[in-house]
Structure 1
Amino acid sequence: MDRTERFYHIDRLLNERRVVPVQAFLDELEVSLATFKRDLEYLRERFNAPIVWDRDAGGYRFDAPASGPRYELPGLWFNASEVIALLTMRQMLKNLEPGLLSAHVEPLLTRLRAILGEGELPIEDIDKRIRFHRQAGRTHDSQHFAPIATAVLQRRRLTIDHYVRARDETVTREVSPQRLTFYREAWYLDAWCHLRNELRSFALDAIRSVTLSTEKAKEASDKDIARVLDGGYGIFSGKQVEWAELEFTSEQARWVSKEVWHPDQKGQVLDDGRYRLQVPFSNPTELAMDIMRHVPAVKVIAPQSLRERIRGLLEQGLSSV
């Protein structure tokens, strides 16, 4: 039984009985007398628990509430492993979207600190001991994330000024948010675009302004979202899906065979150690970039259009050297 559970049992015994002998606590908690007394002292100091020794009754009991904060144990109980998982999750959230949940998470951290104590698990060490390394991440205006997340969860429309990099222009659109996606170090808003009357993904770093509307968002079915936004490769959407067939050398297969390029991919290790990979795509842009990372240890078998695209990129690269 860890310390958190012992606090719960001490509180329960004192509430169930008027007076609790020391031996009853030791039997229930399965700890030494010294450990039990340390737990009592902690409950008194940290939680302002009005626990007193009643000499006449021969046990401990709750006294009248003391001055100061009202005695109340946290409503959530966590063992050591759960606390570590929560703190690790908090570290992940802090790296994904700095400051977004701080106001909501800090009160929980305060309670966790009270439960754990100063010496048992130094919470401050989480930042130092658990590291999230982000590379080539694109930053967005942090003020935009909260209203976008609100619109997604409350099912409200947004008006956004969206910068289209390919045309170097900014377009104002009304959109009905469907979901937020974190993909390859960047956030994307998947939404129904009322300007184009179709589902689209908008990179948050390309959004210049956000206005939250009171109008109800248009709902797209999960089936349509999956068909349009999830059927292709990576973040690039499209309704017409093709299958790419790639072959990696036996050396490269040691790494690639462990990678997930697409949830629906098909992989096969050949007899000589080469790795055959099939992935669906609708727009070849991102797939081509991933293939180029493995040149010359990869061969594009099909389709012919993808082979020609990779050949063209290689020729362009050689011409610029």
Structure 2
Amino acid sequence: MDRTERFYKIELLLRSRGCVAFETLRDELAVSPATLKRDLQYLRDRLAAPIVYDRFDNGYRFEAVVPSAASPRHELPGLWFSEKEIHALLTMHQLLAGLDDDGVLSRHLQPMADKLQGMLGADESEARELMRRVKLISTARRRVPSRHFELLGSALVQRKRVWLRYFKRSDRSTSEREVSPQRLVNYRNTWYLDAWCHASEGLRRFALDAVQEAKPLDSRARAVALKELEAELDAGYGIYGGGGAKLNWATLVFNADAAQWVANEEWHPRQRARWLADGRYELQVPYGDPTELAMDILRHGDSVVVTGDKALVAAIGQRLRRAAQLYA
């Protein structure tokens, strides 16, 4: 039984039996007197457990306190975590912090992290050291104002509609829309809102950093089944994967050197791939809008060639010729 389990065991014994003798606690936990004393002291000092020694009954119990807003009834966290599970949760907390904009997630999750650190038994310096050992490096992040993230997240959970003033970068236009939030998506260090747009009567994906203003509405959000959402917005390649565009399949052939890395990458959940006899790697991915796929193909330069899809080949060839002219 590790330390975390002992904390829950002590809590359970005191709640179920009222007052428990020191010897009984020691026997139930199968620990030394010194270990039990440390556990009781830690529960009092670090987890604010109101444990007192009752001289009349010669045992330990919870102090009788009337719960209030200032002093709520003490309880350890409702789930029973082992130390390895706590380490995993703290690691996940640090990863979420790496996705954070303006400290929105961290502000709401920090109380949980503090409790987990307390359950782990590490002092403050040890806890800080643990958190520094996990890092998420983000590049080209487009930050989202915290007021928008919190408002949209709240509307999503409460199933409420939202009014948006949205800037569309492709044609540099601004529009006002009423939307029903369906899902928040973090893709390549950028947050997006998948929503039903009531103006266009369809599912749309909005970049949160392009939201200029947002207001909550009292109207109930339109419900869209997750399968419909995925079929519409996730079918094709990348963030431009849906929108009702007809899907095509792109065939990419990587040379033997690039294949050593690409073979371990997932470009799309429905991708098809195979090794060729000469060591090259063939990858097929579905796409609707070719914009992002072309960008990723260009990133590999002369290590990849597109075959079969004449329109995509022509578009990439044109981009390469224009780029070459800039460096001529």
Whether these two folds match at TM > 0.5 is yes
One-letter amino acid of the counterpart of residue 151, structure 1 = A
- Flag the 1:158–1:14 CA change in 2: closer, same or farther, 3 A: closer
- Flag the 1:118–1:255 CA change in 2: closer, same or farther, 3 A: closer
For the 8 Å contact 1:160–1:174, the answer to whether it is kept is yes
For 2:122 and 2:230, locate their aligned partners in 1 and report how far apart those are by CA, in whole Å: 48
Once the two structures are superposed, the pairs formed by residues 233-244 of structure 1 within 5 Å of their partners are 233-236=237-240, 237=242, 238-244=244-250
For 2:288 and 2:72, locate their aligned partners in 1 and report how far apart those are by CA, in whole Å: 61
Residue number among 280, 283, 295 corresponding to 1:277 in the alignment: 283
- Flag the 1:49–1:277 CA change in 2: closer, same or farther, 3 A: same
2:147 maps to 1:143: yes
2:126 maps to 1:119: no
For 1:109 and 1:234, locate their aligned partners in 2 and report how far apart those are by CA, in whole Å: 33
For 1:297 and 1:246, locate their aligned partners in 2 and report how far apart those are by CA, in whole Å: 10
Residue 162 of structure 1 corresponds to which residue in structure 2? Answer: 166
- Flag the 1:150–1:37 CA change in 2: closer, same or farther, 3 A: closer
Once the two structures are superposed, the pairs formed by residues 165-176 of structure 1 within 5 Å of their partners are 165-176=169-180
For 1:283 and 1:144, locate their aligned partners in 2 and report how far apart those are by CA, in whole Å: 28
TM-score, normalised relative to structure 2: 0.86
For the 8 Å contact 2:100–2:106, the answer to whether it is kept is no
Residue 203 of structure 1 corresponds to which residue in structure 2? Answer: 207
Q: CA deviation at 1:126?
A: 3.8
- Flag the 1:69–1:193 CA change in 2: closer, same or farther, 3 A: closer
For the 8 Å contact 1:50–1:65, the answer to whether it is kept is no
Residue 83 of structure 1 corresponds to which residue in structure 2? Answer: 86
Runs of 4+ residues over 4 Å off in structure 1: 14-24, 63-71
Q: CA deviation at 1:53?
A: 7.5
Give the 3-state SS of the residue equivalent to 2:297 in structure 1.
helix
One-letter amino acid of the counterpart of residue 265, structure 2 = E
CA RMSD of aligned residues (A): 2.7
Give the 3-state SS of the residue equivalent to 1:173 in structure 2.
strand
One-letter amino acid of the counterpart of residue 85, structure 2 = E
Q: CA deviation at 1:223?
A: 3.9
Give the 3-state SS of the residue equivalent to 1:306 in structure 2.
helix
Question: Identity across aligned pairs (percent)?
Answer: 41
Residue 98 of structure 2 corresponds to which residue in structure 1? Answer: 95
Residue 12 of structure 1 corresponds to which residue in structure 2? Answer: 12
Residue 309 of structure 2 corresponds to which residue in structure 1? Answer: 303
One-letter amino acid of the counterpart of residue 281, structure 1 = Y
2:293 maps to 1:291: no
The CA deviation string for residues 52-87 of structure 1, in whole angstroms up to 9 with x for no partner, is 386x98x64437649996883413332212222222
Q: CA deviation at 1:118?
A: 4.3
Residue 253 of structure 1 corresponds to which residue in structure 2? Answer: 259
Q: CA deviation at 1:179?
A: 1.2
One-letter amino acid of the counterpart of residue 93, structure 2 = R
Long gaps (5+) in structure 1: none
Q: CA deviation at 1:226?
A: 2.5
For the 8 Å contact 1:158–1:176, the answer to whether it is kept is yes
For the 8 Å contact 2:272–2:284, the answer to whether it is kept is yes
Aligned residues: 319
Q: CA deviation at 1:193?
A: 2.0
For the 8 Å contact 1:48–1:66, the answer to whether it is kept is no
Residue 74 of structure 2 corresponds to which residue in structure 1? Answer: 72
TM-score, normalised relative to structure 1: 0.88
User: 26-35 or 140-149: which moved more?
Assistant: 26-35
Q: CA deviation at 1:317?
A: 0.8
Q: CA deviation at 1:51?
A: 4.2
For the 8 Å contact 1:48–1:71, the answer to whether it is kept is no
The CA deviation string for residues 229-277 of structure 1, in whole angstroms up to 9 with x for no partner, is 1111101124300000111111111100000000100111122221110
Once the two structures are superposed, the pairs formed by residues 173-188 of structure 1 within 5 Å of their partners are 173-188=177-192
Q: CA deviation at 1:17?
A: 5.0
